[in-house]
Amino acid sequence: MLLGASINTGNHKTALDIGAGTGVLALMLAQRNPSIHITCIEIDQKSAEECTNNVNNSPWLNRINTIHADFTRHNFHQKFDLILTNPPYYFTDNSSNESNERTKHITPDSLLTWLNKITDLLTTKGEFWVIWPSETSQKIIEIAYDLGLHVANKITVYSKKNKLSRYILCFSKDKNEALNDEQLIIRNEDNSYTNDYCLLTSDFHFKEFTP
């Protein structure tokens, strides 16, 4: 929800959703940008099938395509001006088993391979958006920098005031010294949603809600 609502869809025409799951992020982008065409890639067969079904039952089925494949092994025939993902993001050592890597874990070597392919697939003026835990955010920033990707936007997400949760990061190939640095607090001390969170995500709820 946070990533899909935060991405600046702008004038992007082609998008790639890596590890698309059931297609939620792709559907959010299609809702926000009436001209964008989105490719979803998902390694899990059940999730890919559900993604296809969700897309086919949406108003945007002509602008979203689902591929059941491993992102790092699939041969794409185009570049994208927007790439996004809510990835596996907990680091394990390189001996970790494959099932862990497919859930919420990734090895440093896998992260390097993954980011390297994203760099190749991104257009010169394209943007790569990702949501990442605060504890290991510096690692992905450093690896991306070595590959020529620079942080252009950073949203620091707090679950509550002073309780750091994660970062939403936007990378580009342009090295811009003026980093757009924002903050978002999800809940108030009484556990209600903040006004900022409500405003950010209001277009994606079935019914209105108040903080």
Distance between the two ends of the chain, CA-based, in angstroms?
17
What confidence score (pLDDT) does residue 90 get?
A: 56
Domains parsed from the chain with CATH numbers: 2-204 (3.40.50.150)
Q: What is the pTM of this model?
A: 0.87
Q: Buried b vs exposed e over 114-137: b needs ≥16 C-beta within 10 Å?
A: bbbbbbebbbeebbbbbbbbeeeb
* Run means of pLDDT, 10 residues per run, the chain, 211 residues: 84 94 94 94 95 96 96 95 81 47 64 93 95 88 94 93 92 81 92 90 60 43
Return d(Cα 29, Cα 96) in angstroms, integer: 34
| Nearest partner of 162 among 182, 181, 185, judged by Cα | 185
**φ, ψ for residue 83 (rounded to 5)?**
-125, 135
